[in-house]
Amino acid sequence: MGRLRQFYLTCVSEVSWRIPNRPAKFLAQFSQAERGSAYDMLAAAELTDRRELRRKYLEHALDETAHSKIFRERANALGIGREESAIIDIGYLSDHGIIGGETLFERFGELKFLAFVHIAEKQALEQFMVYKSRDLLDPETQVRLDGIRKDELFHMTYSGAELEHYRKNGLDSEVDKAIRQVHRDRWKEKWLRFSQHIGHFVSSLWLLLIYALLIAPFRLLARPEGVGWHQSKGGLSPDHVAKNNKLIAARMQS
Amino acid sequence: MLVLESQRDTLQNTLSLVDRPMPCWILGISALYHDSAAVLLKDGVVFAAAQEERFTRIKNDLSMPIRATAWLLEHAGISPSELEALVFYEKPLRKFERILSTSVAYFPYSWRLFSPQMRAWLGDKLWLRDKLISQFAVPKDRIFFSEHHLSHAASAFYCSPHQDATILTVDGVGEWATTALWSGSGADITPVSEIRYPHSLGLFYSAITAHLGFVVNNGEYKVMGMASFGEPRFMAEMNQLLIVKDGRFELDLRYFCHHLHPRRATTRHFETFFGVPRHPSEPFDLDSDDPQIVSRSQLFADIAASAQLALEEALMALVHHAHQTCPSTALCLAGGVALNAVANQRIATEGPFEHVWVQPAAGDAGGALGAALWGWHMVMGNPRTAEPAFQVSLGRSWSASKVADYLEDFRLPFTDVTENFSETVAADLAAGKIIAWMQDGFEWGPRALGYRSILADPRSAEMKDRINRSVKFREPFRPFAPVVLASAIDDWFEVPPAARNMTPYMVCTVNVRSEVIDKIPAVTHIDGTARVQSVSDEHNPLLSKVIEAFAALTGVPVLINTSFNVKGDPIVNSPVDAVATFLQSEMDCMYIGNLRVEQPKRQRYHSPRIDG
């Protein structure tokens, strides 16, 4: 690990992991991230043309599933809030683009996928080392993390060995290119996520302003819907069809 | 000579292809709320159907069903340009109108909801037609929009065996309606009346689900299971929250805030009735040594029992109103609330209808089916024809050679048991083995109906605990459903006459006969009921034969049938999903097609480490 990265990880971890209740939240997020990773590994096991890699991908997926459970147990043990837990469980994977749409394997192809796995596992290991060296975790979580680190080491090693295999087959420049691309993508992803947070914040302010200034006057005219049975509106009801041609009515979004 | 004959056959096939008009393909889509799905109709008949969650592996996935659709088109061998119509299951602008109107009507209390809702709509959902065009490559004039509850109604009515029926749809919310009444006749569905947001039975039950620590839109059936352990001692409180009178219901909005808050469904007043909500990890154990855990667990069970009873009372009122307003012998139910199997039993037993029908994917996924069928019948004007019973194996299947390739690559030893297949499976089951079962295409709807199932012997009560603890990793109170031979169902279960058409789909509980209740404890819930599924040669010949063989060995034509997944995951789709699920649980063996796989003996599949 480079000095700059170590400095960055130490600073960020020292600040964020010391905030009360944050460790539980982070562990719940780790749990979801591992879950997403398991799905990606399963997709790789299904889609790869290199049949000799299938079993490794499957084993990797099983490890990630086990890690996900461990992280979730520790998050619960550290008392993650009820609402926070629900938000992370429901939205984390899709909000972080970890899952949904194309899988990583489909997006990257075999070589870049392996480069991604190698780099992600290496960076996770570095992160875990910082937690240990700075004594940021409770003893029980640290014990469980030590077990996980062994698996991560295996994941980093086998993906690294596969990259070497490509190099030995004369694909040196392709491997280097894939590694560069993955590093670049990871930074880009971080930047996009940061921008998303900013955009989210700014749009919330604007919408709140619109709510206060534009919605308020209409409140005088509006009434909540009454209770009980109402006559159905819309659809292809006779009224609706009478007003519009049947096909046009069916094409309408309102 | 043979060559000539073969050439003649080819020529005839070619000519008939030329003569035959092109088939009419319709794609139905439901998405962007929960349980997104895609359904493909060929000349008005369901060709294939799948929920997106089976492909993306996110339970209740709400994203646009791109992967499901890609598989449907590939399976049919067509391109998007060959689709006659793409029908989305609701009218997005009318839904937007409801959201905006609600924000205005409840100003200033709706401020928390306004911002996230507008961001979601302005950024994405409002431009749905463009999104459909770009993602599915279908021309603009072939895109149609049904209506949320109309799609539900169509999914129930057109798939039912009834030509005339009263249709009642009940769910969280669609555009405006949360409950709607329809009259179905032939190919026509006529709207009658509706109850509108924010008064919603679905959202009432979801609020209770969230209070009891379960995930909304996913954990409702856990509340249903938990209810049997409690007494409805909170009915006075429930009657204040949910007011039922004159064949309708309303919510007292002092206790609910689903129309004001993006994440909360209930107010602090609600907590004065029912106390602090349950944390998802809080134990539910009525046999615990810790009296505090027992006391809290009993409280939760009593809340669940009261909510279940309140829901049933409201549904019964609606059903009686429906019968008075649109008299008919048959009732078709749809919407997420129609998946409440306990309520369905009561409707079938005590309700005024001679027949009750619920389509297996009654929730939002079923909207895709209804939208497509609505397009075929009501937009294109095609009549209904007498169709065979609704089949559920509509999802992706895998060839035997592909499965064998995967198993070889995973270095999992397997044996081909084509000969004596049923007898081999039955012997495993009778020996107390828990079996992973993957056959043909996966099922349509949230229930495992014998294509992606975990099967086991129901004769021992311990089996239920073993599967909950070591296979599914889920709450110990959760019951398991039985699958029974259709020919033997009346010997084992008391099926109300009105529920008879529903038994193939596991959408209705029934009482287990008192004289056999001790013989199948693993599938008998604490209240003496079971969410039964019947199978016959017509519905699932393979499973039917296995149960026959099991009955020959044990005298019991019943098996445990639970979904092939672990807690939190969707039901498996591919052989890879199946293997991963099998290996991370303690099932004993797995049958994929005719191949039998034993659970590896090593403690962990990947220990010791494989070669590097």
Q: Write the CB contacts of B294 (distance below 8 Å, at least 6 apart in sequence).
A: B285, B286, B287, B288
Contacts of A94 in chain B (CB under 8 A): 58, 63
Q: Return the structure tokens found at A220.
A: 């005088």
Q: Which helix (H) or strand (E) holds A129?
A: helix A104-133
* Long-range contacts at A187-192 (CB < 8 A, ≥ 24 apart): A189/A97
Q: Do A158 and B612 touch (CB under 8 A)?
A: yes
Contacts of A84 in chain B (CB under 8 A): none
Can you give the pLDDT at residue A235?
55
Let me know: does B439 contact B545? Beta carbons within 8 Å: no
Q: Write the CB contacts of B126 (distance below 8 Å, at least 6 apart in sequence).
A: B92, B93, B96
CA A206 to chain centre: 27
Longest C-alpha distance within chain A, in Å?
A: 75
Check if B81 contacts A (Cβ < 8 Å). Answer: no
Q: Which residue of B has its CA nearest to A103?
A: B56
Query: Cα separation of B151 and B143, whole Å?
Result: 15
Partner-chain residue, chosen from B129, B405, B574, that has the shortest CB–CB distance to A253: B129
DSSP state of B501: G
Q: Return the structure tokens found at B472.
A: 């599914």
Q: Do A211 and B114 touch (CB under 8 A)?
A: yes
Contacts of A227 in chain B (CB under 8 A): 195, 199, 248, 250
Can you give the pLDDT at residue A203?
94
Can you give the pLDDT at residue A234?
54
Can you give the pLDDT at residue B609?
42
Check if B128 contacts A (Cβ < 8 Å). Answer: yes
Contacts of B102 in chain A (CB under 8 A): 224
**What ipTM was predicted for this assembly?**
0.91
Q: Return the structure tokens found at A209.
A: 């302003």
Q: Do A62 and B144 touch (CB under 8 A)?
A: no
Mind telling me how many Å the CA of B545 is from chain A's nearest CA? 31
Contacts of A250 in chain B (CB under 8 A): 144-146, 375, 378-379
Q: Which residue of B has its CA nearest to A63?
A: B606
Q: How many residues does chain B have?
A: 612
Check if B405 contacts A (Cβ < 8 Å). Answer: yes
Q: Return the structure tokens found at B598.
A: 């034993």
Q: Do B580 and A42 touch (CB under 8 A)?
A: yes
Nearest to B472 by CA among B458, B454, B456: B454
Q: Do B606 and A63 touch (CB under 8 A)?
A: yes
Query: Cα separation of B360 and A142, whole Å?
Result: 46
Partner-chain residue, chosen from B93, B103, B605, that has the shortest CB–CB distance to A215: B103
Contacts of A39 in chain B (CB under 8 A): 56-57
Mean pLDDT of chain A: 89
Can you give the pLDDT at residue B478?
84
Partner-chain residue, chosen from B177, B410, B577, that has the shortest CB–CB distance to A55: B410
Can you give the pLDDT at residue A89?
75
B485: exposed, middle or buried (Cβ count in 10 Å: 0-12, 13-18, 19+) = buried
Whole-prediction pTM: 0.93
Q: Mean per-residue pLDDT for A228-233?
A: 86
Residue B553: CB atoms within 10 A of its CB come to 14
List the 265-284 stretch of B: residues with Cβ below 8 A of A.
277, 279-281
Mind telling me how many Å the CA of A129 is from chain B's nearest CA? 23
Q: Do B379 and A200 touch (CB under 8 A)?
A: no
Mind telling me how many Å the CA of B166 is from chain A's nearest CA? 15
Query: Cα separation of A140 and A120, whole Å?
Result: 24
Q: Do B94 and A253 touch (CB under 8 A)?
A: yes
Partner-chain residue, chosen from A54, A86, A224, that has the shortest CB–CB distance to B105: A224
Contacts of A161 in chain B (CB under 8 A): 612
Check if B600 contacts A (Cβ < 8 Å). Answer: no
Q: Which residue of A has its CA nearest to B64?
A: A101
Q: Which residue of B has its CA nearest to A89?
A: B215
Mind telling me how many Å the CA of B18 is from chain A's nearest CA? 30
pLDDT averages per 10-residue partition of chain B, 612 residues: 41 46 94 94 97 91 93 97 97 94 94 92 90 94 96 97 97 96 95 96 97 90 95 97 96 96 92 92 91 95 98 98 97 98 98 97 97 95 86 96 96 95 98 97 96 97 91 84 98 98 96 97 95 94 98 98 93 97 95 96 50 34
Contacts of B108 in chain A (CB under 8 A): 212, 216, 219
Render pLDDT for A72-127 as a digit per residue (tens, 0 to 9): 999 999 988 877 877 777 777 767 766 667 889 999 999 999 999 999 999 999 99
CA B199 to chain centre: 24
- Amino acid identity of residue B506, one-letter, is M
Can you give the pLDDT at residue A84?
80
Partner-chain residue, chosen from B94, B197, B606, that has the shortest CB–CB distance to A62: B606
Number of A to B CB contacts under 8 A, please give it. Answer: 193
Best interface-test mutation with B: which of A50, A58, A252 has the largest number of B CBs within 10 A?
A58
Query: Cα separation of A205 and A183, whole Å?
Result: 34
Mind telling me how many Å the CA of A107 is from chain B's nearest CA? 14
